[in-house]
Structures are given as C-alpha cells and as structure tokens.
Amino acid sequence: MEFRIADTFADSLSKLTGQEQKAVKTTAFDLQLNPVTPGMRFHKLARAKDPNFCSVSINMDIRLIIHKTNTSLLLCYVAHHDDAYAWANRRKIEQHPKTGAAQLVEVRERVEEVTYQPLPATPRTQQKPLLFAEYAEDDLLSYGIPREWLSDVRQVTEDSLFDLVEHLPQEAIEVLLELATGGKPSLPKALPTLPDPFSHPDAQRRFRVMTNRLELEKALDFPWEKWTVFLHPAQRSLVERQYTGPARISGSAGTGKTIVALHRVVFLARQHPHARLLLTTFSDALANALYLKLDRLIGNEPDLFGRIRVCAIGSIASEIYTQAFAPPKLATLKDLRLIVQSAAAKVPECRFTLSFLLGEWRDVVDAWHLDTWAAYRDVQRLGRKTRIGGAQREILWSIFARVWQELKQQDLITESGLFRRVAQYLALTQNRPFDFAVIDESQDMGIAELLMLTTITNPQQPDSLFFTGDLGQRIFQQPFSWKAVGVDLRGRSQNLTINYRTSHQIRTAADQLLPSSLTDVDGNVEDRRNTVSVFNGISPAIEICADIDRETHIVGQWIADQLKTGLQPDEIGVFVRDPAQLDRAIAAITKSGATHVELNSQIIFTRGCIAVSTMHLAKGLEFRAVVVMACDDEVLPLQSRIEDISDESDLEEVYNTERHLLYVACTRARDFLLISGIDPASEFLNDLNR
C-alpha cells in the first residue's frame, strides 16, 4: 500500500501547537508502519462527498483526515474535531476529466455551503469586465479547472478573483492569475491516459509518496517549508532538461530558484551514480542554508547525499589552492587600503580619491587581473561610470603597478587572485574536482569566481554548469559580461514567473522598487512583468515615526500581535540596513516580550527566537512575518556610501544596489510585512506606496 502526504496536510499540521503536532506525528508514523494498526480508530464520515474520506482520532479533540483506498493511504488534513470534519465534508479527491491529474477539489453545490460567493451586482462591479468569459469551457478545462467551478470562473471580475482562486487546485490558480495579468499560458500538452492519477506531474507537487520513516519524519519536521519537497511541473521540466552548455534559471524573489537548484543537483546525482557534484553559492551563510534544505530533501539517502558537496565558492577555492600550493595568505580590506594609499602617495600627479582608487582596483584591475600597462590601457571598464582619458590611465597605472609589487613583496594574494590562480591550475590538469556544479544566487558571483567555475568541471560535459539567480537581488558585484569570461548562456536562459513564497500584496509593493525588466551586460533579459503570486494576503504596513522610541513601541507591539495570532518566534525576522541599527531592532524585539538571535554565517535560525540581522544576511531566508526597520533618510541609501562617491555618475550604481537590498529584505516575508523608519524616512518608501 502506497503511503502519501498532501501539501494541505503539511499546512494544517503547522497550525497546531507543538504538543499536538507531536501526537499527530506519532500517529502518522504508526499508520505508515501498519495502516491497520490495532487500536487505530478509523471513522467513516457520513456527510463527506468522497466515500474514501475517513478520520483517525489523535486524542479527544484532534482529528486526522485520511483518504483511504485498497491500494493507498493519503494524509490530507488535521485539525480540531469540528474544523477537520467541516474541511472534509466540503472536499473530494477525483481525477480531472481533461488533464488526468488527481485533484483535491472543493465541492461547489449550493452557495450557502461554501465560503466563496460571487460579488453582488452593484453599479461599481457591473462596470468591471468579466475576466474569463471569452474563454471556451474546453480550454478552461484543459488548464485544470474543475468542471463544477467553470461557471464561477467565467463570472469572476478582478474584484472577486482572489476570493475565487482560494478554492481551486494550484494549476488552476496559476493559469487564471497569469491570464488575468496579461499573460498567455500555453495549453498543457496532452498526456497519455495514466492508470494512476497521482503520477501526473501536477499531482506530484501536492501529493508525495513517503517510502520510509526517515523521509516522512523530514517532511513532518518542516511543514512550512514544503516547497523543498513539492516541485511545480514547470520547474520540474527545467530540472530534468539536458543542456548543451551552461544554463541559467532566473526569476524574482520567491519564484523557487533555490528549489530548482536543489532538485537539479539531486536529479544529476541520480542520473550519474558515480558523479561528483558541487552545490555552491557566494557566501558561507547561504551555503549553510542550502545544506539544511538539501538535508531535508535527501538526508535519508546517505549514499546520494554524500556525493554532493555543499559549500561556499570561496571555501572550495581555498581548499584547492592549499592542496596545489600552500595555505593562501589573503590580503584583507585593511591591507589593500593601506597598500593603495601608500602607492598613491608616491605619485604626485594623483588627484583621485582613495574611494575611487579602491573601486578601480577591485572592479577593474584585480577583477580582470590586469598586471601590465597594455592590459589596463586597452580594457573596457564595464560597470565603471567615471570616464578617464589616456593620461589619467597612465597615472592610475603607475599606482596599481606599485600595488601589484607590494602584494608580491608581502606574499599576499587577493580573493580575486586566489580564484584566478585556482582556475589557471585546474585548466592545466585533466582531473577536475567535480563533474557537475550547480550555483545558486549567481548574480553575486564575481569575474574571478565565474572564471574558476568554468574550470572546476569538464566544460565539454553536457549539463556541467547550472546557475540560478536574480539580477534584481544583485547587491555585491558590478555588472560584467559573462560571455567574456567564457559562460555563454544564449538559448539556455529562462525565467520563472510563479511566486509561491510571497503574497500578492507584498510582492506587488516590493516590485515597485525595481524596473519591470532587467538586462545583463550580454543582453539576456529578465522580464518581471508576468510574475504572479499564487495567494492573497494583507498589504504591507509602513510606519514613519517621530523618533526611535516611537518606532520601538510600534514595532514591538506589531511583533507581539503577530505572536498572539499563533506565529512562532522563529517565523519572524527583523532586518536593518547596517550593523549600527541592530540595537534598534533588538530593542523592539525585547519590547514585544520575545527573545532574539543575531544571525551570522553559522546561525541561520534558532527555534523559539526571532531572527535579527542586516539586510545582506537576509538572502536565502524566508519568514511568515518580516519587519524592515530603521529605513531612515540617511540610512537607506547609506550616507557613507554616497559620501564615498568620487563622481556623480557612480551614484546610479549605489542607488541600484541599495534598492536591491530593500527589495531582498521585503521579499523575505510570506504573509506579513512591516516597514518602519524615522521621519524623514528613506525616499524608497515612496515607491512602495505607489
């Protein structure tokens, strides 16, 4: 007998108390071990429309709703007695007549039996057009809409759309939202008749077979993070596709890029049983988060898990460098500042600021390893806005030549130099350390890191490099040409458009911070206009306060209110722009009566504590509720960055990355978002209110 869990079960489990969840998990394990366990109290539901629905008593009050046939047992829902029965009485599991997928369908019989009712006819709503009246019923069926909801779909307007979609299966929700926002989804390909409707790709993302106790234990331990388990069919096609060269999957925050990366590396590991695989990103904190997610996905398969190396790209470079040469002696930012300052002091003609010199060194000279006058003279300074003439370049080179010399004398190597040296070493060896590499958050990979990645696997091996990223979340690297480094993505770059993590209201507000489309240096376009969220929510709250005390009070009360509604402390995150504002965030958390944990590269979250960190560490994290604090006028954008600008033409890059930071922080929220600042607040908050 196949044992399955549904995503609705994962959602409902997360709403119970810790003690109740523990009891439910014990029952689930017993059912998996033996569905006819003596003493297990099954109860047929007399009012249920699906005869295969029954309940199991967890205790005197909690009921587990199960769909039970001769060949399978499916955990569907769990709640207190009346709520569980009411849920089951309004639903049935059936095979869609057109797509063939198993669906959990909300019964639509009489208006008074369901929570959805079409809006009454008023002068205002009468003027609004029906969104889907022009579509043929056969086409709507082909998109996966249940037959009994076709009439409601054809009568819906923009005012009632989100009320309706809450009652539909996921594939129907996605296509209706895409159609409503101007998209033109293609009709799904007709699949051969499937003897098992649960094997359909649409069904596989909401119903998952649990093959053993360890797999079930992991699924139950992380119910809110179910997207690491359930994969959208559009994502699955990208995960399982064969690419003839490097490929990149893009998408705005919340569209599942990291999940695609996780499933991609697992797919490759299964396809190539003896392959060595790397799952990497640009920071230790993100690498640790990836490790935890991968463990939840395949931690019960040690042979598979053991062949996938998960670590930051810098750790891999240091390891290979040490094995090939010796432990690297890395130049710190303080070292470079002193060396550049000293070199500039020896050039009387120098009129450039230290900030400009450090930026030119980092983004041009060191990034491209320009160690001769000819190389620097002829380089195209992509990403650097300040124009410099030939005479100025000569002056600059006289400084940078001294920097190179001093680094050599002190036996120092920069991070960029480390990656490049490793790349040169690997290019000369036939024994590449990995067969496949999957790179998450690739928009913040630098020139030298990317160069090393082209040599870490065999470039002739199909599928050897797979990138995921979002240009809208680029906060560290200057734009540069990937083609110039040897990574040509033409024809192998695609966008994800379905947002699973962030509510429609939060996503819509955050999107106001960025252009509707972003283009990289090589001309690859990331179009954000057709992105849709699959669930509705509450609009973000923006509080501009008179002083810090008032902000502390408002944020503290907001957090306390979220906790009273049932949110757990570890489902809340608080972010600020800079370490200087962390005390404000901690004070607000303390005011709420909760405890906090300050995140770093090792601490991703702690149960029972509210996470607090700078916006830079927010990448890769998700919370039910988020507070973005201290969005003051001279904090966002950060005044010190603006003061360091030597040329007004560089201001655009500063403003872009500061906007990206706020976008990253806001899009960590799933359901609730509060943004606060002291009057005068950041000018970016005006965009969020558009």
Q: State whether residue 652 is helix, strand or coil.
A: helix
Inform me whether the pLDDT recorded for 673 exceeds 70: yes
CATH number of domain containing 210? 3.30.2310.20
Report pLDDT digits (tens) over 149-197: 999 998 888 888 888 888 888 888 888 888 887 777 777 666 666 678 8
Six token digits for residue 427: 């290019």
Question: Which one of 442, 476, 500 terminates a domain?
Answer: 500
Task: Give me the mean pLDDT over the 8-31 stretch.
Answer: 88
Inform me whether the pLDDT recorded for 112 exceeds 50: no
Inform me whether the pLDDT recorded for 294 exceeds 70: yes
Question: Which one of 412, 445, 472 terminates a domain?
Answer: 412
- Residue pair 172/141 in contact (Cβ under 8 Å)? The answer is no
Residue 334: per-residue pLDDT: 94
Inform me whether the pLDDT recorded for 605 exceeds 80: no
Do 285 and 375 fall within a single domain? no
**What is d(CA 153, CA 613) in angstroms, rounded to the nearest whole number?**
44
Inform me whether the pLDDT recorded for 125 exceeds 50: no
Closest CA to 285 of 531, 615, 518: 615
Residue 158: per-residue pLDDT: 82
Indicate whether 189 belongs to any domain: no
Task: Give me the mean pLDDT over the 27-37 stretch.
Answer: 82
Do 288 and 435 fall within a single domain? yes
Inform me whether the pLDDT recorded for 386 exceeds 60: no
**What is d(CA 576, CA 599) in angstroms, rounded to the nearest whole number?**
12
Give 60's contacts (C-beta < 8 A, 6+ positions apart). Answer: none
Indicate whether 187 belongs to any domain: no
Inform me whether the pLDDT recorded for 261 exceeds 50: yes
Do 493 and 380 fall within a single domain? no
Do 403 and 452 fall within a single domain? no
Do 588 and 652 fall within a single domain? yes
Inform me whether the pLDDT recorded for 414 exceeds 90: yes
Inform me whether the pLDDT recorded for 53 exceeds 50: yes
Long-range contacts of 184-189 (CB under 8 A, 24+ apart): 185/143, 187/139, 187/142, 187/143, 188/99, 188/142, 188/143, 188/144
Indicate whether 526 belongs to any domain: no
Inform me whether the pLDDT recorded for 394 exceeds 70: yes
Q: Please tell me the least confidently modeled range out of 130-139, 190-199, 558-567, 568-577.
A: 190-199
Inform me whether the pLDDT recorded for 119 exceeds 70: no
Inform me whether the pLDDT recorded for 113 exceeds 50: no
Residue 127: per-residue pLDDT: 58
Q: Which residue has the higher pLDDT, 199 or 435?
A: 435
Degrees to nearest 5, angle at CA 258 with 255 and 264: 115
Do 59 and 29 fall within a single domain? yes
Do 293 and 434 fall within a single domain? yes
Question: Sorting pLDDT into bands at 50, 70 and 90, what band is 220?
Answer: confident
